[in-house]
Structure 1
Amino acid sequence: MKAFTLFALGSLSLLPLSSQAIALNDDFSLLLDVTLASDYRTRGISQTQNDPAVQAGVTLAHSSGLYIGAWSSNVDFGGGLKTRQEVDYYAGWLWQASDDASLDLGYIRYAYPKESQFNQGEVYGILSLYGIKLGAYYSNDAPGIDSKQNSLYSYVGYEHELPFGVGLKLRYGEMDFKDPRLYSRSGTAEDSYHEWEVKLTHELAGVMLGLAYIDTDLSENQCASNWGFDDVCSATVVASVSKSF
């Protein structure tokens, strides 16, 4: 499968205890979110051939910190692959020690209708301390070229409120595969790559506007040899509009 020899990983922004969540009763709340983005990038890689994406999610949260939910987006991997949708199912527990400290633990199942060979699960943990985030996602059934393999995505991030209601989000991550899968022009293979994002947000008229710069350290040859295209891993600017209920 030359066009897509690694896999597509869904991105997910878990907001189980958002202040905008709908209170169902004293214990349960519901969060609905809808996003329109100029590109769907996850871990630096476009999931839509650099085209726009419409995304929606729903999360049911309990006062204990437990939550479950589902999230979906259109996708396009090219190369004759039939799937046009990603559906993620997740469950977890959020421990909120204070407004500035929390721990989020959970499991995500990624599903791709008509291309089930890309389906996989991940366990994750995200530690947040005074705006700094440390996260890790581990999978033991990540799709590879010819068999399942282990993968680990880890990142460090930072969030800060700037003047005039502008939010700043920074992230630097590493995607590490068990086996080398990233081939350079010389024929050598690497088992990991790095990606980063700088994002500004601002709430206007009840919607959240976002503008992000995203890039990876993958060469065009590494990108083309593993994803079938040389422009889905390169630097880009992604604009988004989202609404939470």
Structure 2
Amino acid sequence: MGKIGLGLGAGLLYCLTFPAQAVELNEDFSLNLTLTALSDYRTGGISQTLGDPALWTDVSLVHSSGLYAGVFTSNVDFGTDTRREYDYYVGIAHDFTDDINATLTYYAYDYPKDSEFNYGEWIGTLGAYGATLGVKYTNEVKPYDDDRSVVWLGYAFNLPYETTLDVRYGVNDAKDDIWVSRDESARSRYYDWEVGVSKELFGFNWRVAYIDTDLSQAECASVNGYDDVCSATVIAQVAKTF
């Protein structure tokens, strides 16, 4: 069963940001379209494509009040019938100052041909001076119909040559002891981390990231059905906003 890894929060990146290149429809509304190609699609450190490349499309409509709504889609592969993920989201973003901001978003995840695994999730972030504290929560992860949460802390800062370094550390809590090791001991919580370097070049955003979790191969396979989708990897991605 390759679904619980995604059940802890498949979908968009840990921080939702709206690009400066947004198309201004009028004085109140703007439209964003972003395409992203990745060598692997990972959420919470776990691959959503069995280690294969992914192509994301994200379209959002943003109001000057901070309200927004959008659709995200990506190819996925969990070893089941579904090959596509659709995320429908609505939320609000607010800048308290130039350096302090917050977002609150509700996502509805849809997996065609595996609709029994569809669920909804709340994601909130608080950003301050380059740091981001984020929380994900759902009470309808399938097939357990239980609550799951993710808490993460990230930080981004500028390097020379207009390059950005970002780091993130996440705590993924399944509430139930579903991660089972070879000695048959089990736990409900695992940790993931990420270090990335990004740069704008030729009108594209380029990024390379190292991603890992503390899950063993046995623990990974006990939930995801594969023992290599939670292991350390380096992911390259390129994004373009129209």
TM > 0.5 between the two? Answer: yes
Distance 2:163 2:11 in 1: 23
Q: 1:60 aligns to what? A: 61
Which residue does the alignment assign to 1:6? Answer: 4
Task: Please state if 1:109 is matched with 2:108.
Answer: yes
Please list, as runs of the form range in 1=range in 2, the aligned pairs for 1:34-49 lying within 5 A after superposition. 34-49=35-50
Q: Secondary structure at the match of 1:95?
A: strand
Moved more, 212-221 or 118-127: 118-127
Q: Take 1:181 and 1:235, find their aligned partners in 2: how far apart are those partners?
A: 21
Matching residue of 2:81 = 82
Paired AA for residue 111 in structure 1: D
Number of residue pairs matched by the alignment: 238
Does residue 21 of the first structure (1) align with residue 14 of the second (2)?
Answer: no
The one-letter code of the counterpart of 1:62 is H
Does residue 214 in structure 1 map to residue 211 in structure 2?
A: yes
CA distance in 2, matches of 1:5, 1:108: 17
Aligned Cα root-mean-square deviation (Å): 1.1
CA distance in 2, matches of 1:167, 1:11: 23
* Per-residue deviation, 1:189: 1.1
Please say if residues 135 and 151 of structure 2, whose CA atoms lie closer than 8 Å, have aligned partners that are also in contact: yes
Greater than 3 Å deviation, 4+ residue runs:
none
Assess if the C-alpha contact under 8 Å between 2:85 and 2:110 holds in 1: yes
Moved more, 115-124 or 23-32: 115-124
Matched, 1:185 2:182: yes
CA–CA distance in 1 between the matches of 2:89 and 2:33? 14
1:230 paired with 2:227, answer yes
| Distance (Å, rounded) in 1 between the aligned partners of 2:2 and 2:38 | 23
Distance in structure 2 (CA, Å) of the matches to 1:136 and 1:71: 19
Structure 1: unaligned runs, 5 residues or longer: none
TM-score (norm 2): 0.96
What percentage of residue pairs aligned between the two structures are identical?
47
Q: CA separation in 2, counterparts of 1:139 and 1:52?
A: 27
State whether residues 106 and 125 of structure 1, in contact with CA within 8 Å, keep that contact through their aligned partners in structure 2: yes
> CA–CA distance in 2 between the matches of 1:125 and 1:163?
31
Equivalent residues of 1:72, 1:86 under 8 A apart: yes
1:111-155 CA-to-partner distances (Å, cap 9, x unmatched) read 1000012211111210000000000010000124xx311000110
Cα deviations by residue, 1:45-94 (Å, 9 ceiling, x for unpaired): 0000100001110010000000000100000111xx11000000111010
Report deviation, 1:15. Answer: 2.3
1:124, 1:51 → 2: CA distance? 26
Alpha-carbon shift at residue 228 of structure 1 (Å) = 1.0
What is the Cα deviation at residue 11 of structure 1?
3.0
The amino acid across from 2:76 in the alignment is V
Code of the aligned partner of 2:128 = L
CA contact (8 A) 1:166 1:201 kept: yes
- The 2-side partners of 1:154 and 1:20 are apart by 30
Q: AA paired with 2:201?
A: L
- Secondary structure at the aligned position of 2:222 is classed as helix
**Gapped runs of 5+ residues in structure 2?**
none
